Amino acid sequence: MIAVEAAGAVAGSPSTRSRHGLRTRYEAWALFAVAHLLLSVLSPLASDVTVVYRPWFETWAQHGTLVGIDGPWVYPVLALVPILAAGAVPGAYLLGWVLLVTVLDAAAFAMLLRRSRRAAIWWMVLLIALGPVALTRLDSVTAPIAIAGLLLLAERPAVASTLLTVAAWIKVWPAAAVLAAWTATRSRRLVGLAAAATTAAVVALDAALGGLPHLLSFLPEQSTRGLQIEAPVSTVFLWLGAFGLGHVRTYFDRHLLDVQLVGDGSAAAGEIVTALTAALVVALAVVALRGSRRGSWAGTGRFAHLVLALLLVLITFNKVGSPQYVIWLAAPVVLGLVVDPATFRRTATTVVALALLTQLSSYAAALNLGALPLLGLTARNALYLVLLMGSCRRVLAGTRLGSIGSRPATGSAAVVRA
């Protein structure tokens, strides 16, 4: 089908190609509008924006006190930017947030649509599969920035590194993409300098606002937390608790606003997964450094798998398993669908299934549907592990390389029109 479309585009008249391209772009944008309208209507079901972010904004608006500046905070300091920006719509904070995320998504969608229609459509399908959390978390702000950064890396590494570093100072996870870019590309000097300059600018801004003592407060805030019930490592303890074993109990953490668990060995399990995370990230970085000696991975399927593997390590061995973490995977998967679609089709399908399981298990838990939430979480966390093993295998074994803009004309046409 792809080959037929590509051949038809070559054989057809310029006006036919123009009309066809225009029509498909309109259709893609129509899907974008439908997805964001649907998620906007459902957004009140996801409470973080109104219950967590809005009070932080109101505290600043009414008392002039900023979290992260005047005291410690669970997020990096640039997370204040979207939280304050959403308040630009008077009396409608949730609407302001949704509009902000939609504008960022639209910018990344337009960039992606020029490279691969199929990847752009897949991203919208993923957002719908995940549900309203896809629009109502800080991760929703960083995801389109990370997508733009990865798409630009092969052509403009300094700009890409700047975007990814800015995103990492909103929510830490895009730092994995910066690490991948630094280890696996020949532009590591530009990537490193851009990341360092951006970080220096953030530190200078934070110091000017008087928040320097709390600049890194998010690190201990996150590292000292317990096991959240949705974390993959918690699955074992949830099943033990379901059978009355292991003295497992759950409780609500009023500081971090999530449900955590304790049980026999849960503290040790938290320490083990933290150590595993560090060890696997270092191992993948070493593999990338050695592998890139034979040629840069920028703009290749192997690089996309590297970013995916790093992010899956951060998710699979995390003490937290929040549903919005699925959004992290959008950036490497859309890059993979652009540069190596044949290899990434199965991965893309698996990630959509993972998103559906995440949304369904969340609603099953909210409706107290017996064992269904635990079954859904178990299946979802198993998919995380399957994806991690598959991406690591691709990184270690390598993939068929295909750089953006460096394929033969027929291949490029197929990818762009896919």
Q: Is the model more confident about 262 or about 18?
A: 262
Predicted confidence (pLDDT) at residue 12 exceeds the cutoff of 70: no
DSSP letter string over 259-322? EEEE-TTHHHHHHHHHHHHHHHHHHHHHHHHHHGGGS--TTSHHHHHHHHHHHHHHHHT-S---
Beta bridge partners of 228: 260
Q: What is the pLDDT of residue 6?
A: 39
Predicted confidence (pLDDT) at residue 207 exceeds the cutoff of 50: yes
**pLDDT confidence band for 260 (50 / 70 / 90):** confident
For residue 267, give the nearest of 226, 327, 213 by alpha carbon: 226
Average pLDDT value over all residues in the chain? 87
The three-state secondary structure class of 254 is coil
CA-CA distance, 114 to 370, in Å (whole number)?
46
12 domain-assigned: no
9 domain-assigned: no
For residue 331, give the nearest of 50, 104, 155 by alpha carbon: 104
For residue 264, give the nearest of 300, 238, 237, 287 by alpha carbon: 237
Residues spanned by the domain of 323: 19-416
Q: Does the predicted TM-score (pTM) go above 0.75?
A: yes
* Number of structural domains the chain divides into: 1
14 domain-assigned: no
The three-state secondary structure class of 16 is helix
pLDDT above 70 covers what percent of the chain?
A: 87
